């Protein structure tokens, strides 16, 4: 299987990014093709809501890296969407990607191929009750896609300092989830 891991942390070694690496390690050991995309390393501009894409075969008027990232996601069988929680919501990088999917959402919605999605969420606050906004954003995006099934949520809450996640149960869970892909 092709696994596309979207790391939306602005920090390359942030807690959610470290969980992405663990998931990737497990998935690679299980024999899957894995790519981690660090959104902070891509040039993506906000959606203009101009609807150019609706009249031009789903091609966005923006000429940046969003189309490249979205193409990799569409080609994958498994998506891993990872975000730290900032002010009760997803990172700006994740929100930008979600908004830019507007141009190409029908490629996924009308596809007969079913995909799986795993969510990796981290926060300095403890407990998923602090993650309602994050989960609503991620699940709302996936609900619009219609052909993607939620597989699991990896809960990295309570990891505040950089690196705290390496001593958290989510660190092992992310590896095991990646390794168990079938």
Distance CA 46, CA 3 (A): 25
In the chain the first and final C-alpha atoms are separated, in Å, by 8
Give me the pLDDT at residue 182, please.
85
User: Would you say the pTM of this structure is higher than 0.95?
Assistant: yes
CATH of domain 2-179: 3.40.50.360
Sign of the torsion angle spanned by Cα atoms 135, 73, 93, 166: positive
* DSSP code for 164: G
Please report how many Cα atoms fall inside a 13 Å half-sphere around the Cα of residue 136, on the Cβ side. 7
pLDDT beneath 70: ranges in the chain: none
pLDDT in tens, 62-100: 999 999 999 999 999 999 999 999 999 999 999 999 999
């Amino acid at each position: 299987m092709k696994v596309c891991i979207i790391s939306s942390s602005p920090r390359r070694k942030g807690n959610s990014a470290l969980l992405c690496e663990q998931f990737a390690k497990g998935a690679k050991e299980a024999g899957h093709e894995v790519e981690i995309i660090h959104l902070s390393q891509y040039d993506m501009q906000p959606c203009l809501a101009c609807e150019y894409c609706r009249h031009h075969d789903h091609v966005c008027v923006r000429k940046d890296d969003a189309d490249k990232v979205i193409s990799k996601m569409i080609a994958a069988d498994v998506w891993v969407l990872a975000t730290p929680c900032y002010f009760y919501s997803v990172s700006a990088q994740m929100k930008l990607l979600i908004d830019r999917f507007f141009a190409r959402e029908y490629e996924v919605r009308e596809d007969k191929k079913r995909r799986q999605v795993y969510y990796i969420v981290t926060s300095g606050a403890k407990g998923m009750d602090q993650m309602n906004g994050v989960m609503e954003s991620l699940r709302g995006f996936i609900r619009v896609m219609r052909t993607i099934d939620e597989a699991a949520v990896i809960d990295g809450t309570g990891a505040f300092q950089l690196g705290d996640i390496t001593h958290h149960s989510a660190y092992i869970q992310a590896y095991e989830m990646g390794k168990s892909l079938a």
